[in-house]
Amino acid sequence: MTNKPQYMPPVELGEVMRGLVLGVVEESKNPNFQTGHMVSGLLGWQDYALISTQNIRSFTKLLNPLPASLTTFLHPLSFISCTAYFRLLDIGKPQAGETVVVSAASGAVGSLVGQIAKIKGCRVVGITSSDEKCQWLREELGFDAAINYKTADLIPALAKSCPNGIDIYFENVGGKIIDAVLTQVNLSARIPSCRLISAYHAK
């Protein structure tokens, strides 16, 4: 929504808000997308959309019948989950008993990373911006610990939450958080870098 340079063009004033959406094809002249097909793609927050052939490639036709509930395709089975799943498993290579720290842990990617790491048998520590989000990570998502980076002294807080050091740091943020994490990583630690959201608007 900001007009600062970033990885997607800004949403202009008055434009439909952009977002990953699910939809049902109501009418189509494309043989690959027929009436009744469920699709997902980067459309907008609107009831109806007209898709031209130029941007049809950014749409995915969902399986019929759906292997999971429709809303599952907005998060755990979306491109967001591919980011979390492949970066954690292919680059992080988590092993049972290892300690995984994830920043922006309550966000779309981070919340999945933590849950996948728990399935892999890791100790999972999330870093986020409020006590309420920390509570959600621990109590709803099953993280072992959560740190509020706005109020905690990060280095001692990480040392306390990661008594065996950090084996994987899933990096979403950059800045002061990675500076603190680097003081606690073990030898042969892996750091899948997703992006550095704290620096998106840096000059």
Ligand X SMILES: NC(=O)c1ccc[n+]([C@@H]2O[C@H](COP(=O)([O-])OP(=O)(O)OC[C@H]3O[C@@H](n4cnc5c(N)ncnc54)[C@H](OP(=O)(O)O)[C@@H]3O)[C@@H](O)[C@H]2O)c1
The residues that touch ligand X, with contacts defined as CB under 6 A, are 79-80, 83, 104, 106-110, 128-129, 133, 172-173, 194-195, 197-198
The DSSP code sequence of 153-198 is: -HHHHHHHH-TT-EEEEEBS--HHHHHHHHTTEEEEEE--B---GG
| Bond before 76 cis per omega within 30 degrees | no
From CA 203, how far away is CA 199, in angstroms rounded? Answer: 9
- Which of residues 7 and 48 has its CB atom nearest to ligand X in the complex? 7
Return the number of other C-beta atoms located less than 10 Å from residue 144's C-beta: 18
Minimum distance of ligand X from residue 80's CB (angstroms) = 4
Residue closest to ligand X (Cβ): 107
Q: How far is CA 157 from CA 119, 153, 163, in A?
A: 24, 6, 10
- Which of residues 186 and 198 has its CB atom nearest to ligand X in the complex? 198
- Which of residues 36 and 200 has its CB atom nearest to ligand X in the complex? 200
- Which of residues 28 and 198 has its CB atom nearest to ligand X in the complex? 198
Strand partners, 169: 101
Minimum distance of ligand X from residue 72's CB (angstroms) = 15
For CA atoms 65, 69, 70, 74, the dihedral sign is negative
Of 192, 171, 108, 106, residue with least CA distance to 141: 106
- Which of residues 3 and 95 has its CB atom nearest to ligand X in the complex? 3
Minimum distance of ligand X from residue 170's CB (angstroms) = 9
Minimum distance of ligand X from residue 174's CB (angstroms) = 8
Minimum distance of ligand X from residue 30's CB (angstroms) = 26
Minimum distance of ligand X from residue 132's CB (angstroms) = 10
- Which of residues 28 and 72 has its CB atom nearest to ligand X in the complex? 72
Cα–Cα–Cα angle for 150, 93, 125, nearest 5°? 25
Instruction: Find out whether 122 and 94 touch, Cβ atoms under 8 Å.
Output: yes
